[in-house]
Chain A
């Protein structure tokens, strides 16, 4: 299983880097997102009438100006195809799972444009597993999301796969590479 998982992850990353279609879509999506207010969402946002659940929270910014934005809000650039609770609000960070959970080795990916350097990055939305739903900072964005028949581009799946437990807690958004330049 572990070998298979590694193979799948490698394949996913390879696919992401080599697929100009998805990169283009993500780029278009990022443009649209930048201009529009994110509407309430039927699936994810339904659970939390307030934009991020709970009280309004102070922003969590990275110390690097090349990675701009508040990692507790759905508008943060890396979240262009995320669906779930943001791990930053759950005891983890944008790329680290909360204590007591296990990070899924396989995942879905998106390609998001960083507004600070204009590059399209391949983002891995690993799920954190083994603790019940975090319930904080729910976010669903679907730029480049495609039907379930394309699992690696679909965020409806629970990606707590290949982990000890399939119970879903939250999702990270880790940079795993830069998309091909010609993608833009």
Chain B
């Protein structure tokens, strides 16, 4: 067979390209061949949720190298049907919380956490979540979180009854389910516990015992004025302090370092500016990020009005929340929906746009560093730095 092919090739060569030099043929290549990743991802890498709106049951996590203009997509991890995900740097594992049906769109429902090796992206194990009740919604980081020093995870449920499933990741088992009527989102506190926002505007903070049951619970009334200053669900973390921004640009903080969450009295604002139509307001999906110095970056829309809070923004305003002072404005040169800031030595502001393009800016100077193009996924709606 090979001889025949060679003869044919020779024939072709002799008729079409007689002038080829007599070089050695290209070497044979070993197959099968599958790439791997470094087990520890660099600070320039992101785990990006490609929500894949046009086929939600087939979402993905894109592992993206923001320094690689040419080939930013390093790998993909399955993230099916409104999935959520976590990265444990210490354990070198990625966790996806997903939902499946036995006949793709129908049949028996299975909710499960899958554990993936960061280097090979092969599954190392899974934990089935009982009851088929995992919350399915557009992606928020607060639906799947670590606690107990990353040994456990907390999974938000919505049937629409709300509860939290406590999972022992290391022991590969479900520990408990905690009813949480009227409350949404998980913000881990201390060593073993979490806070959540509730429908009456309060913040609830729960500590857990070593079995995953509630050890104590404390409610802080009036944390959020949902009618007049509703808060975006995803805060930016400065150390263990979560900074939330409201639909109108007010900033408020919760100290999550202790066993019980502690709302901080200091409030700050992103400020105002001329040129809004009618006014500047935060807008987008992932609208607030922090850098290592504790500065906040807020995605701002010049067309702020009722209902504009998910429309995206054209600038990022950089605020020192402790001094309550806006330091600078970064023009993104167009609309963006989600932002994050890396922990690189020279921190980068990474933004994803409605047309799935991803751009990288210098967080300090605000200058564009590079375009990654629309080359990492269909709907890059969450940008999570690998460090």
Hey, which bits of chain A sit against chain B, CB under 8 A? 8, 21, 25, 28-29, 32-33, 36, 39-47, 49, 80-81, 83, 106, 130-133, 135, 138, 140-151, 156-158, 160-161, 164-168
Contact = CB atoms under 8 A, between A and B. Distances in A.
Interface size class of B (residues with CB under 8 A): 35 or more
Contacts of B226: 146-147, 149-150
A45 B336 CA distance: 12
Those 5 A-B pairs whose CB atoms lie nearest each other, nearest first: A42-B337, A143-B307, A158-B136, A47-B53, A40-B354
A145 B309 contact: yes
A119 B131 CA distance: 42
6 contacts: A39-B312, A43-B310, A45-B354, A83-B138, A147-B231, A150-B199
A141 B309 CA distance: 10
B57 interface: yes
A123 to B, nearest CB: 14
Given A160-B136, A167-B105, A149 B199 contact: yes
B199 A131 contact: no
A25 B99 CA distance: 35
Nearest to A80: B307
B170 interface: no
B310 A42 contact: yes
Contacts of A47: 53-54, 378-379
A46 B379 contact: yes
Nearest to A84: B53
B306 A41 contact: no
B263 to A, nearest CB: 15
A100 to B, nearest CB: 10
A120 B258 CA distance: 47
Interface string B350-366: 00111110000000000
B252 interface: no
Contacts of A25: 306
B230 A147 contact: yes
A42 B56 contact: no
A116 B232 CA distance: 34
A18 to B, nearest CB: 15
Q: Which of A81, A138, A167 has the most CB of B within 10 A?
A: A167
Contacts of A148: 137, 140, 184-185, 233
Contact of B311 (A42, A158, A160): A42
Contact of B159 (A29, A80, A161): A161
Contacts of A133: 53-57
Contacts of B380: 46
A144 B160 contact: no
A40 B105 contact: no
Nearest to A33: B307
Interface string B82-125: 10000000000000000101001110010000000000000000
B55 A41 contact: no
B370 interface: no
Contacts of B353: 42, 46
A45 B284 CA distance: 12
B371 interface: no
Nearest to A42: B337
A106 B182 CA distance: 16
B335 interface: yes
Nearest to A22: B227
Nearest to A168: B56
A140 B310 contact: yes
A136 B46 CA distance: 30
B256 interface: no
Contacts of A144: 306-307
B81 interface: yes
Contacts of B284: 42
A149 B57 contact: no
A132 B230 contact: no
A30 to B, nearest CB: 9
Contact of A132 (B57, B227, B355, B378): B57
Interface in B270-311: 284-285, 303, 305-311
B318 interface: no
A158 B137 contact: yes
Contact of B306 (A43, A143, A167): A143
A151 B180 CA distance: 14
B338 interface: yes
B236 interface: no
Contacts of A44: 53
B198 interface: yes
B77 interface: no
Nearest to B277: A36
Contact of A46 (B198, B199, B231, B337): B337
Contacts of B199: 149-150
Contacts of A83: 138
A36 B54 contact: no
Contacts of A165: 101, 105-106, 109
Contacts of A43: 51, 53, 138, 285, 310, 337, 379, 381
A100 B158 CA distance: 25
B310 A41 contact: yes
B99 to A, nearest CB: 7
